[in-house]
Chains A and B, each alone.
Chain A
Amino acid sequence: MSVRTLRIDGRDVASGEGTTVLEAARDAGVAIPTLCHLEGLSPVAACRLCLVEIEGSNKLQPACITPVSEGMVVHTATPRLREIRRTVIELLFTEGNHVCAVCVANGHCELQDRAVDVGMDHARLPYRFPDRPVDLSHQRFGLDHNRCILCSRCVRVCDEVEGAHVWDMAWRGEHCRIIAGLDQPWGAVDACTDCGKCVMVCPTGALFHKGDSVAEKHEDPSRLAALLQARRARQEAP
């Protein structure tokens, strides 16, 4: 594998061909915020949080899918990008009903963490207060659409890793919603294997274990990468 040298925020970085700017930056100790991205799942570049500036291009590029190239000069935290990220987070907070104080994921929520990262002390945009349902039909898990940021991690993990494809995105635009089966109660969908991977990868408290109370959801989405690695190792073993 040939090596590409580039500069990220003034640091010289050497990365293998095919590496993404996001991976290269993380290897170099530069944190670029993400939400829809999760190692082990196909990238969708939908949340736009990881947009970076690349010299010579007037368009912002999502670090999660942009491959490194020789001589590339990347800026990940310019004032313009900071402002964009804060707005993205504000857009997410205002389009749902994110009430951290009464959320199972309080204290262990990626959205909450990103809000701190981007310096969001309040939303400059008005809250929308949409009317969204909660699905408690599954025996072990629950889905609170109020807390869903439509990152589609659950859709991808169920399809790409578990192979059950219980979830999909339905409707469109502001009416987008995660559905199980034919937009049925989750508990009524035969395809679900109750594996809980969707709960594990959910960045917020939208998918949770029933019985968890406020701040009791302690999932670690990065476990997915470890799980996939173990699976690969086993497949490759003689």
Chain B
Amino acid sequence: MSQPAKLRLATVWLAGCSGCHMSFLDLDEWLIELAPQIEMVFSPIASDIKTYPEAVDVALVEGGVGTSENLDLIRQVRRRSRLLVSFGDCAVTANVPGLRNPLAGPAAVLDRSYLELADGSARWPHAPGLVPELLERVLPVHELVPVDLFLPGCPPPAERIRAVLEALLRGEQPQMEGAEMIRFG
């Protein structure tokens, strides 16, 4: 792998709790080391850019694919990124967002969440064009687009994220084995 001057890095947040991003922030002072080696081109925690850019080197994707917006975005991410990393258990397994999957589709999920469990003013959220439609099921990213690297964990510990990024910065394939690197949960 030829090493570009600066790695064009993106982080993407789909159906997840943002915990993976928080874990990324747990890299603390190492982030200062990281900063000069990358160009953060898209990220909910480090950038205001709303459109996913072209020619991204590495995309860390947190979350499963649960809405029409998630689906559009992940397809765009796949087209425009060289290396797509499923970042955390929600991206790898659908995890907690996937808990809704055994319920029979979006209507059942909305009923359960907004009607049955409501304290007051029970009604479905309805804002066409603003609130994206739920997909039939929340799916792991790789069931919809090809994924190049899997970085499991809920969230992946900061050390695990660092090990992956360091390898990628060196132009190496991260060694994803052993409890330190691939334990779910």
Q: Interface size of B by Cβ–Cβ distance < 8 Å?
A: 32
Docked CA distance A101–B16 (Å): 12
Docked CA distance A9–B92 (Å): 34
Let me know if B137 and A100 touch, CB within 8 A.
no
B157 within 8 A of A: no
The answer, among A102, A107, A123, A131, for a CB contact under 8 Å with B93, is A123
Docked CA distance A97–B137 (Å): 14
Docked CA distance A37–B176 (Å): 28
Let me know if A100 and B102 touch, CB within 8 A.
no
Number of residue pairs spanning A and B whose beta carbons lie under 8 angstroms apart: 78
Chain A residues with CB under 8 A of B142: 122
Q: Mark A38-59, 1 if CB is under 8 A from B, else 0.
A: 0000000000000000000000
Chain A residues with CB under 8 A of B96: 99, 101-102
Let me know if B98 and A129 touch, CB within 8 A.
yes
The answer, among B92, B102, B143, B184, for a CB contact under 8 Å with A131, is B102
Cβ < 8 Å to A, chain B residues 105-161: 137, 139-140, 142-143, 147, 150-152, 154
Let me know if A122 and B183 touch, CB within 8 A.
no
Given known A97-B102, A102-B96, A127-B98, contact A122–B185 (CB-CB < 8 A): no
B14 within 8 A of A: no
Instruction: State which size class the interface on A falls in.
Output: 20 to 34
- Shortest C-beta distance, B131 to chain A (Å), equals 23
Chain B residues with CB under 8 A of A98: 184
Chain B residues with CB under 8 A of A130: 102
Chain A residues with CB under 8 A of B89: 99-101
Docked CA distance A127–B143 (Å): 9
A115 within 8 A of B: yes
The answer, among A103, A106, A121, A126, for a CB contact under 8 Å with B176, is A121
Q: Mark A92-114, 1 if CB is under 8 A from B, else 0.
A: 01000111111100110000110
The answer, among B102, B176, B185, for a CB contact under 8 Å with A112, is B185
Let me know if A107 and B150 touch, CB within 8 A.
no
Let me know if A121 and B98 touch, CB within 8 A.
no
Let me know if A116 and B182 touch, CB within 8 A.
yes
From A109, which residue of chain B is reached at the shortest CB distance? B185
From B182, which residue of chain A is reached at the shortest CB distance? A121
Let me know if B95 and A122 touch, CB within 8 A.
no
Let me know if A129 and B185 touch, CB within 8 A.
no
B101 within 8 A of A: yes
Given known A100-B184, A116-B183, A127-B98, contact A122–B154 (CB-CB < 8 A): no
Docked CA distance A130–B143 (Å): 17
B46 within 8 A of A: no
Let me know if A99 and B95 touch, CB within 8 A.
yes
Let me know if B178 and A116 touch, CB within 8 A.
yes
Q: Mark A75-103, 1 if CB is under 8 A from B, else 0.
A: 00000000000000000010001111111
Given known A99-B96, A122-B86, A122-B142, contact A107–B185 (CB-CB < 8 A): yes
Let me know if A100 and B185 touch, CB within 8 A.
yes
Docked CA distance A42–B142 (Å): 40
A16 within 8 A of B: no
A119 within 8 A of B: yes
Q: Mark B80-104, 1 if CB is under 8 A from A, else 0.
A: 0000001001001111101101111
The answer, among A99, A103, A116, for a CB contact under 8 Å with B98, is A99
B179 within 8 A of A: yes
B177 within 8 A of A: yes
Chain A residues with CB under 8 A of B139: 127
Further contacts, 4 of them, CB under 8 A, given A101-B89, A122-B93, A123-B140: A99-B89, A101-B185, A120-B182, A122-B140
Q: Which residues of A contact B (CB under 8 A)?
A: 93, 97-103, 106-107, 112-113, 115-116, 119-123, 126-127, 129-132, 215
A-B contact pairs, 9 of them (CB 8 A): A99-B98, A99-B99, A106-B185, A119-B176, A121-B151, A122-B152, A126-B143, A127-B93, A127-B101
